[in-house]
Amino acid sequence: MGAERERDSVWAGRPSWLTPSVAVLVGANLFPLYAVLFQGWKVFPIVLLFWLENVIVGVFFILRLLAARPQEPAGWLAKLFMVPFFTFHYGMFTMVHGVFVFALFGPEMRHVVDFPGPADVLDAFRTYHLAPAVAALAASHAFSYVWNYLGKGECRTVNMAGLMAAPYARVVVLHVAIIGGGFLVMALKSPLAGLALLLVLKICLDVAAHSREHRKAAAHRQGDSDSADTP
């Protein structure tokens, strides 16, 4: 706990968005911006990339559930139910979302996909050379997991029920904005400027959600610390 408090004190006087994890998050989101400006990406690869980020988010939320409240051995009984349930439910949610992504924007590919399978996702992944951008987003989430969740001790005070619901709120807000923006870009027929603005919007939403999440976690951690210090 001493190391966690010392780390918190270093960043205590700074704005909530001015943290190493936010810097890494913004850096990861600059990859698709580069692809739009210099590699000719259009709407579909952008929306597909952010759908793939949903998969990354789901993986790290499973890791969060597994690492939650390690000081409470009884919690592992709850995890035996919560982790499989979350994996199935979030997996179905993500699959349905992926079907909409391909149905609405997939015609940019060589063929129209009515009900995409793993082979179609892999084909699009290769066609648009998404590996560097996906790797950057995965590295961003990994850094936040290690820096904030494990390093700052958020895992010790997290509310497990709230943790189960957290990724859905993030995905819904972000992708309503992204899909709505994608239609706007297609309607305006100005892909370069429109997609650049869309990515800036995505970065702002990501930073706002990230900062809000970790402010709440810091408040929970401070509350638990004060309770422990009270005689």
**Residue 83: its pLDDT value, please?**
92
pLDDT for 138 beyond 90: yes
Domain limits for position 50: 2-226
pLDDT digits (tens, 9 = 90+) for 185-224: 767 666 677 777 777 878 887 788 777 776 766 665 555 5
Whether residue 215 lies inside any domain: the answer is yes
125-142 CB burial, b ≥16 within 10 A, e <16:
beebebeebbebbbebbe
Res. 142: pLDDT tops 90: yes
231 domain-assigned: no
193 assigned to some structural domain = yes
* Number of neighbouring beta carbons within 10 Å of residue 25: 22
Give the span between the Cα atoms of 208 and 213, in whole angstroms: 9
Total domain count for the chain? 1
User: DSSP alpha helices (H): ranges in the chain?
Assistant: 2-11, 20-38, 43-67, 75-105, 118-127, 131-144, 154-157, 160-188, 191-229
What is the pLDDT of the chain when averaged over all its residues? 78
Q: How many whole angstroms separate alpha carbon 79 and alpha carbon 69?
A: 11
The answer to the question of residue 8 being in a domain is: yes
pLDDT of residue 3: 47
Of 39-43, 45-49, 94-98, 127-131, the poorest mean pLDDT is in 39-43
* Domain assignment of residue 40, yes or no: yes
> Could you tell me what percent of the chain has a pLDDT over 70?
77
pTM of this prediction exceeds 0.85: no
